[in-house]
């Protein structure tokens, strides 16, 4: 099992995944809302878009822009069940447990933290 840091390092080697960056607008939003609110948003998005065994519009359910967490979801390959399966071997067609959801949220927040000051 890889650590969050190992996962982030591996993702940075992907041309597609490493192409996502936070804009100044994203960074301002993060600063205004604070980590607790952003983590709450991340939990909501993961619960709605990834946790169901059969997410609605799987593969297309996560927008590419509009919220810093959406960018983090694509940058970390946590945007759909197919990417979760490919990158992290998360089984398809199985509802995510609360522990699995929290691991995803932790990865998203770590990516945001790592990219906040770049």
- CA–chain centroid gap for 5, Å, is 14
Please report the pLDDT score of residue 13 as a whole number: 96
Please report the pLDDT score of residue 49 as a whole number: 94
- Nearest to 46, CA basis, from 99, 102, 117, 115: 102
Per-residue pLDDT of the chain (118 residues; tens, 9 = 90+): 689 999 999 999 999 999 999 999 999 999 999 999 999 999 999 999 999 999 988 888 899 889 999 999 999 999 999 999 999 999 999 999 999 999 999 999 999 999 998 8
Please report the pLDDT score of residue 86 as a whole number: 95
Please report the pLDDT score of residue 65 as a whole number: 87
pTM as predicted? 0.94
Domain chopping of the chain, boundaries: 4-116
- Nearest to 114, CA basis, from 6, 8, 37, 3: 8
- CA–chain centroid gap for 104, Å, is 6
- C-alpha to C-alpha distance for 29 and 25, rounded to whole angstroms: 6
- C-alpha to C-alpha distance for 60 and 98, rounded to whole angstroms: 23
Please report the pLDDT score of residue 8 as a whole number: 95
The 3-state DSSP class for residue 40 equals helix
């Amino acid at each position: 099992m890889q650590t969050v840091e190992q996962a982030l390092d591996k993702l940075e080697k992907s041309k597609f995944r490493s192409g996502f960056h936070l804009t100044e607008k994203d960074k301002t939003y993060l600063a205004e809302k604070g980590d607790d609110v952003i983590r709450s948003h991340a939990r909501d998005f993961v619960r709605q878009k990834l946790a169901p065994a059969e997410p609605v519009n799987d593969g297309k359910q996560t927008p590419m822009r509009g919220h810093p967490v959406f960018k983090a979801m694509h940058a970390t390959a946590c945007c759909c069940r197919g990417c979760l399966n490919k990158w992290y071997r998360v089984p398809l067609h199985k509802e995510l447990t609360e522990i699995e959801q929290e691991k995803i949220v932790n990865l998203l927040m770590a990516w945001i933290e790592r990219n906040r000051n770049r």
